[in-house]
Amino acid sequence: MKDECSIAKLGEAILRKKAKKVKNINSKKIQNLIKKMITCVKENKGVGLAAPQIFESYQILVISSHPNERYPNAPLMKDEVLINPEIIKKSKKKVKDWEGCLSIPGIRAKVPRHTKIEVKYTTMEGKTKNVIFEDFIARIFQHEYDHLIGKVYLDRVKDNIDIVSQEQYFKLIS
């Protein structure tokens, strides 16, 4: 059987492309894609996933924060699907903290991100929502949003010394 949750790895062209805006949220294709994204983020023990990571160039991301073996300190939050997200406002303050990415296995890095971010997006049901994300959730949002504009978290790293192997990372946080 075909691997349903095949993840695009760094070097795949789709990760460097700007994703398309979703026009018809109610279409079977988009609704099935969203279901698949929720399955895949959990199967891979991620805390977020963007559609281009499963080879679908659409502006859709899932935030699925809960403590798991890849992110033991992640806060528990209900899964949130964000379609065509836009950044409305971001805090001046940025903080560096660890990130990893399913598309870049084996490493972690410290990435500066805005601590607070106001975003506007469309829900799975087609409603427009304005939300303020803070701290770790704001970080997940910024990481996943980058995937929609053809960026990866390594592009945001300030100094190569902030990049470590996943093995070392688990030693550092334990």
DSSP state of 151: -
Q: One of 12, 56, 144, 167 is an active-site residue; which one?
A: 144
**121 CB burial (10 A radius; 0-12, 13-18, 19+):** buried
Instruction: Pick the closest to residue 149 from 8, 36, 7, 21 (CA basis).
Output: 21
Q: Closer CB to Zn ion, residue 8 or residue 34?
A: 8
Residue nearest to Zn ion (CB): 101
Tell the smallest beta-carbon distance from residue 92 to Zn ion (Å): 25
Distance in angstroms between the alpha carbons of the first and the last residue of the chain: 38
Distance CA 26, CA 140 (A): 26
Tell the smallest beta-carbon distance from residue 138 to Zn ion (Å): 15
Tell the smallest beta-carbon distance from residue 25 to Zn ion (Å): 23
Distance CA 61, CA 75 (A): 18
118 among known catalytic residues: no
Q: Closer CB to Zn ion, residue 26 or residue 73?
A: 73
Two tokens at 172? Answer: 């550092």
- Residues near Zn ion, by CB under 5 A: 101
Tell the smallest beta-carbon distance from residue 18 to Zn ion (Å): 16
Q: Closer CB to Zn ion, residue 106 or residue 127?
A: 106
Q: Closer CB to Zn ion, residue 25 or residue 144?
A: 144
Catalytic sites, residue numbers: 144
